[in-house]
Chains A and B, each alone.
Chain A
Amino acid sequence: MSILVGLAILFPIIAGLVCLPIKNQKARGGIVCLTAAVLIINSILFLRQGPFPIPPAPTWDSVILVFNYVILAIFLFVAIRDIAQRGISRHNILTIVLTLAAGIPLAIFEFSWAPHTPLEVTPALYIDHLSIIMCLTISIIGSLICVYAIRYMKDHEEHRMHLGELKETTQPRFFFFMLMFLGAMNGLVFANNLLWLGFFWEMTTLACWGLISHDRTPIAITNAFRAFWMCLIGSVGFSLAIMLLWNGSSDSISLMQVINNGASAGPLFLLPFALLCLAGFTKAAQLPFQSWLLGAMVAPTPVSALLHSSTMVNAGVYLVLRIAPGFQGTHLSTLIAIYGGAVFLATAILAISQSEAKKVLAYSTIGNLGLIILCAGINTPLAIAVGIMLLIFHAISKGLLFLCAGAIEHHIWSRNIEDMEGIARNLPLLTGITIAGMLSMLVAPFGVLIAKWGAMEAASSIGVWSTLVLVLLMLGSGATTVFWAKWIGRFLCHSPVPGSSKMEPFIPLYHGILLMLITFAVAFSILIAPIYNSIVAPALTEAGYNAALAFTTGAWFLKSPMGIFAAWPIFIIITLALLIPALTTRAKPEASRSSYMCGENVEIGVDEFVAVADERTELKTGGFYIENVLGEGNLNRFVVPVGIVLLVILFIVAMI
């Protein structure tokens, strides 16, 4: 069975290394597809296998020890090289300082505190249902994104070469980082030894830097450094947590043991949990660290889809969900819930003001991660079940939406939502999939909404603080609806088309993958009860929660302690209610009229009206973004301090 683990972690890394020297696009594409197939089959085999521990092999401990410092050295090298090339800036100085701050305590721990170097923990890797869920998400969605990237990067580089920005292909480096990243993520979710977890954490930060700075423009490099030092803050927390947890026996840095001991082992025991949560928060770009994720949107879209929506940022919330049983019932937990809610609300409002497509998606991602953290903070069986489900559904839907945004960008060569007005006329298939993806994030009966419903019901049961958590949740939920609906409206806004609109040419690596993902989104939402029973409920039980208090499932419903969601009937009724009119109503061509322009319209289908001096003037419509009130410029001065204050309060509460 270690073969499966080896394949999951090492195969992608080796495949990535193999990609580096290969110049032929097709051969590289072949390797990527092979890796994808291997990972997907592998993860499904994990599912059939079930939970099992992997004892450590001493050689791997040494390898990881060495490579951990190699990676930290790479960080330092990159930062110093940047100082040499572009001069001192706060980004590279912070990178150097924080790398040292993370590396030195770690070195002290590993070389002088630990009884022997390298320190062995039994088991080093532990596969349980939560890891399997994460592995499935990473392997399936991540692999699909890598396959999409084959075509995307080809178009991307052609475009950049056409514009004169790029001289020769940099795809080998790109695919190396992408594949290496998949391996690192698999390692991260399997790790039980905190040192190994830290290593894979650093590896994902490295991949993050490599991919954000891929285009090597000044802004890309700056944003990559911003990602660096913000994630490194989390790594500092990681190292400190390891030092705090150490009590002489190697069990104290076994993740399972740490969670089992929980908060019962003494007054300062919550502090390591808070530090680990801080690492999770920085990786998940929560307040006040959200600027690195927003800045990372300059990267090519597959990067945004893979790292910054469906996979890497999930590492952060995975960690918080994983250690949640350890701080169950404490004030820290409630505070984490409030923090997650605040992030959800703040990002939902900020997203309304953004007109760049990827920024909207980024804010929505941060918000949904905040929602998962809120669930982890509520820490009841129902809430944790909902958090896990939200993780799965969000990964699918958000990955899909980023890939759609990338495909749209490669058709209209713009990322601005205003330029996407009316593209449903020319790109009906792509727009249809995108709108379906947005609806899957937004409305019943899809998985994300079921998870939101569950979160609301779970939040109502934690006593006095539930008031604050619920208010944040409901307000945020309303705000998210506004920006999604606005965007859907922009896609569809065009004047009547004479004749029927033609489907655009079908590109398998774009549309095929998008169709696969939307099918997953719909299918998983319909099959939510079996999915809950087969993987989420066992994950709950393994973490020590009573799964019966979360959901009970019947033939056609999902029942929580306080509510009931009749999944099948709702799906069927809504589908019938929408499909029957959609398929039977057809507007006759002679029924087309112009929109109302006070009688000054020119012709049907022509977006012009007669204005001053009887001249034809173009009709322009636009969305509204209310930037002066809801924009980053106005809100960031409240939102960032609030984030900092909440984190400070979190740490104070963890220490008393």
Chain B
Amino acid sequence: MGILSTSRVKSPWLLHFDCGSCNGCDIEILAALTPLYDIERFGIVNMGNPKHADVLLVTGPANHRNYRVLRNLYEQMPDPKGVIVVGTCGCTGGVFHNCPNIIGGIDKVIPVDVYVPGCAARPEAIIDGVVLALKKLSRS
């Protein structure tokens, strides 16, 4: 791996977006930032700004109003970028699948790289998902 790929793997900056989630997965993501799991040791930092982020962490399903915001945020992230969907709702719609106000999983709106199922997804699973996404990033 060249130095650029190594740097991309070693320094993934997150943007966390709650798309329609019940906040269960968001709390688990927050837990991953705490000293117990401490994902900063992998160089992961939670930036609140799409223009600074490499990885978009999305929770919850996409509905007819927030898909536009999701797409805007995705477009404002500079390449190379990756999308990780956390939680079953984001993967397939989850318990809200087929509801009239829901479009479905996040992959109906933006291209997704990694799916982390679970309701709520555990921090270890989230970290696994981030590692998978980084592997994908380093290959691109």
* A residues whose Cβ falls under 8 Å from a Cβ of B: 593-594, 596, 598-601, 610, 614
Complex: chain A residue closest to B17, CB-CB: A599
The answer to whether B69 touches A600, judged by C-beta atoms less than 8 angstroms apart, is: yes
Is the CB–CB distance between A614 and B69 below 8 Å? no
Residues A596 and B65 in contact, CB atoms below 8 Å apart:
no
Closest 10 A/B residue pairs (Cβ): A599-B69, A599-B72, A599-B73, A593-B76, A601-B72, A596-B49, A600-B69, A596-B51, A596-B76, A596-B50
Q: Does B70 contact A (CB under 8 A)?
A: yes
Please count the residue pairs between chain A and chain B whose beta carbons lie under 8 angstroms apart in the complex: 23
Enumerate 22 A-B pairs (CB-CB under 8 Å) in ascending A order.
Answer: A593-B51, A593-B75, A594-B72, A594-B76, A596-B49, A596-B50, A596-B51, A596-B76, A598-B69, A599-B17, A599-B50, A599-B68, A599-B69, A599-B70, A599-B72, A599-B73, A599-B76, A600-B69, A600-B72, A601-B72, A610-B68, A614-B65
Residues of chain A within 8 A (CB-CB) of B65 are 614
Instruction: Annotate B67-105 by CB proximity to A: 1 below 8 A, 0 otherwise.
Output: 011101101100000000000000000000000000000
Distance in Å: Cβ of A442 to nearest Cβ of chain B: 29
Report the separation of the CA atoms of residues A428 and B65 in the bound assembly, to the nearest whole angstrom: 39
**Interface of A (DSSP majority class):** loop
Chain B residues with a Cβ closer than 8 Å to the other chain, count: 12
Report Cα–Cα, A601/B76, bound state, in Å.
10
Report B-chain residues with C-beta under 8 Å of the C-beta of A600.
69, 72
Per-position binary interface string of chain B over residues 47-66, scored 1 when its CB falls under 8 Å from any chain A CB and 0 otherwise: 00111000000000000010
Query: What is the CB-to-nearest-CB distance from A601 to chain B, in angstroms, rounded to a whole number?
Result: 6
Residue in B closest to A593 when the chains form the complex, CB atoms: B76
Binding site for A on B (CB under 8 A): 17, 49-51, 65, 68-70, 72-73, 75-76
Assembled-state Cα–Cα distance A596/B72 (Å): 9
Closest Cβ of chain B to A38, distance in Å, is: 59
Smallest CB separation, B73 vs chain A (Å): 4
Collect the chain A residues with CB atoms within 8 Å of residue B75's CB.
Answer: 593
Nearest CB to that of B71 among chain A residues? A599
Q: In whole Å, how far is A587's beta carbon from the nearest beta carbon of chain B?
A: 13
Q: Which residue of A lies closest to B49 (CB)?
A: A596
Residue of B nearest to A599 (CB): B69
Assembly CA distance A554 to B93 (angstroms): 77
Q: How far is the CA of A600 from the CA of B76 in the complex (A)?
A: 11
Closest to A609 in B: B72
Closest to A614 in B: B65
Residues of A within 8 A of B70 (CB): 599
Complex Cα spacing A596 to B50, Å: 8
Q: Which residues of A contact B17 (CB under 8 A)?
A: 599
8 additional contacts (CB under 8 A) given A599-B69, A614-B65: A593-B51, A596-B50, A596-B76, A599-B72, A599-B73, A600-B69, A600-B72, A610-B68
Closest residue to B66 on the A side, CB-wise?
Answer: A599
Docked Cα-Cα span, A600 to B70, in Å, equals: 9
**Residues of chain B lying within 8 A (CB to CB) of residue A610:** 68
Q: Which residues of B lie under 8 Å from residue A614 when comparing CB positions?
A: 65
Name the A residues within 8 Å of B76 (CB-CB).
593-594, 596, 599
Of A593, A599, A614, chain B has the most CB atoms within 10 Å of the CB of A599
Closest residue of B by beta carbon distance from A598 = B69
Expressed in whole angstroms, the Cα–Cα distance for A148 and B17 within the complex equals 56
Nearest CB in chain A to that of B74: its residue: A599
Tell me the smallest distance from the CB of A608 to a CB of chain B, in Å.
13
CA distance A614 to B64 in the complex (A): 11
Q: How far is the CA of A593 from the CA of B74 in the complex (A)?
A: 12
Q: For the complex, give the distance between the alpha carbons of A600 and B69 in Å.
A: 6
The CA-CA distance from A600 to B73 in the complex, in Å, is: 9
The distance in angstroms between the C-alpha atoms of A601 and B74, with both chains bound, is 12
What A residues does B72 contact at CB under 8 A?
594, 599-601
CA–CA, A338 to B73, complex, Å? Answer: 55
Give CA–CA (A610, B71) in the complex, Å.
14
C-alpha spacing A610/B68, complex, angstroms: 10
Q: Cα distance A220–B69 when bound, in Å?
A: 53
CA–CA, A285 and B73, complex, Å: 54
Contacts of A601 in B (CB 8 A): 72
CB B131 to nearest CB in A, in angstroms, measures 27
B98 to chain A, nearest CB (A): 24
Chain B min CB distance to A597 (Å): 8
List, in ascending order, chain A residues with CB within 8 A of B73's CB. 599
Which residues of B are found within 8 Å of A599, using beta-carbon distances?
17, 50, 68-70, 72-73, 76
Measured in the bound complex, the distance between the Cα atoms of B72 and A11 in whole Å is 68
